[in-house]
């Protein structure tokens, strides 16, 4: 291969350095995750990974490994403008009919109307534990950090390190707590206009497609579970490995975090399954023990 001039060499060097830097900035995504749905609906832009929904397909990515306990952080910038009918989810889940799942679901809205953040917890295959809140910022303007902290005492959902939900271990009251199955980390965007926006009344306007959610700053800091190892062995190892997530200080919210959660619930919560008497004539058993 011959080069006709030094300027093309410089251009080539520039190109190479550009591609190298974009490789390093998304390497964390490649190291931890892979597209599992519609790889052709992904694009990589500097340190951001974009996933799009159009009238042909949604898209999703999953972690390459599974984990038991730890913390997952990802920064997300939700669909800008008209996102009505779309749902973007970020969640952890195990496999099988008795799976556990910790969900963030971001329900889109028409331009200028607020997104709703719905969280849910599935234990042994059963969910129906929805909470909904609006946010104290516009999640479509900038990247914000969404996290799940999971240890043997609690599951905490955090937005920019502010706890928005705690699911506590109440096994001493006979209530099962998810701590025996390794979980993957997932995100997806899809069309859910049968329920997502204003109860399904507002449909996806495909003339506004593609709907793009952007991600960056992927972090998983937990007890990694080889797929070849049985859950019971992983559970034993991950529960006794002395991981940072088992420090006593992380067994419940600290005072500052408790105040933050009270503030979120007082100012931003719009739905809590625990107080939905129409749906649950007798209060779900774990709600009786909620201390907030
Ligand atoms: C969308 O906006 C409307 C009007 O402000 C609001 O009632 C609704 O809760 C918002 N979110 C969703 C997901 O429907
Ligand atoms: C998808 O949307 C585009 C843009 O609105 C439109 O041109 C196209 O016909 C649609 N295709 C299908 C399969 O609905």
Q: Give the residues surrounding ligand 1 with Cβ less than 6 Å away.
A: 107, 109, 113-114, 116, 196-198
288 labelled catalytic: no
Specify the ligand 2 atom closest to the Cα of 207: 5
Domain-wise residue ranges, the chain: 26-286
Question: How many residues are given for the chain?
Answer: 292
Peptide bond into 236 cis (omega under 30): no
Q: How far is the CA of 110 from the centre of ligand 1 (A)?
A: 8
Instruction: For residue 200, give the ligand nearest its CA.
Output: 1
Taking the model in full, what pTM does it have?
A: 0.89
Q: What is the pLDDT of residue 291?
A: 52
Which is the catalytic residue, given 31, 80, 105, 130? Answer: 105
Please tell me the predicted confidence (pLDDT) of residue 24: 44
Structure tokens at 133: 């809140």
State residue 80's pLDDT score: 98
Q: Which CATH architecture has domain 26-286?
A: Sandwich (2.60)
For residue 261, the tally of other CB atoms under 10 A from its CB is 21
Q: In testing the pocket of ligand 2, which one of 191, 206, 209, 210 has its CB within 8 Å of the most ligand atoms?
A: 206
pLDDT tens digits, 51-65: 999 999 999 999 999
Report which protein residue has its CA nearest ligand 1's atom 4.
113
What's the confidence (pLDDT) of residue 229?
87
Rounded Cα gap, residues 16 and 103, in angstroms = 40
Distances (CA, A) of 163 to 93, 160, 254, 255: 20, 8, 11, 12
* pLDDT value of residue 181: 95
105 is a catalytic site residue: yes
**What tokens appear for 96 in the block?**
């099988």
Ligand 2 contact, 5 CB (< 6 A): no
Residue 83 Cα to ligand 1 middle (Å): 11
Report, as ranges of residue numbers, the positions in the chain whose pLDDT lies below 50: 1-24, 292
């Amino acid at each position: 291969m011959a080069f006709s001039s030094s300027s093309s060499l410089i251009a080539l060097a520039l190109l190479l350095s550009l591609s190298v830097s974009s490789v390093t900035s998304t390497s964390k995504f490649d190291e931890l995750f892979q597209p599992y749905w519609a790889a052709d609906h992904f694009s990589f832009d500097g340190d951001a990974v974009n996933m799009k929904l159009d009238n042909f397909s949604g898209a999703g990515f999953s972690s390459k490994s599974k984990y038991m306990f730890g913390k997952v952080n990802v920064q997300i910038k939700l669909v800008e403008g008209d996102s009505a009918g779309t749902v973007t989810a970020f969640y952890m889940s195990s496999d099988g009919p008795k799976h556990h799942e910790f969900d963030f679901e971001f329900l889109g809205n028409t331009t200028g109307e607020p997104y709703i953040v719905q969280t849910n917890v599935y234990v042994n295959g059963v969910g129906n534990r929805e909470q909904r809140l609006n946010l104290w910022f516009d999640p479509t303007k900038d990247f914000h950090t969404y996290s799940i902290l999971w240890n043997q005492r609690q599951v905490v959902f955090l937005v920019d390190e502010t706890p928005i939900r705690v699911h506590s271990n109440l096994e001493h009251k006979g209530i099962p707590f998810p701590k025996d199955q390794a979980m993957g980390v997932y995100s997806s965007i899809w069309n859910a206009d049968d329920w997502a926006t204003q109860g399904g009344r507002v449909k996806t306007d495909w003339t506004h497609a593609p709907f793009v959610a952007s991600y960056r700053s992927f972090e998983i800091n937990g007890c990694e579970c080889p797929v070849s190892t049985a859950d019971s062995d992983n559970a034993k190892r991950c529960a006794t490995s002395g991981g940072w997530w088992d420090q006593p200080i992380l067994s419940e919210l600290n005072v500052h975090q408790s105040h933050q959660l009270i503030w979120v619930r007082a100012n931003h919560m719009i739905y809590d399954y625990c107080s939905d008497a129409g749906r649950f004539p007798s209060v779900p058993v774990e709600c009786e023990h909620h201390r907030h």
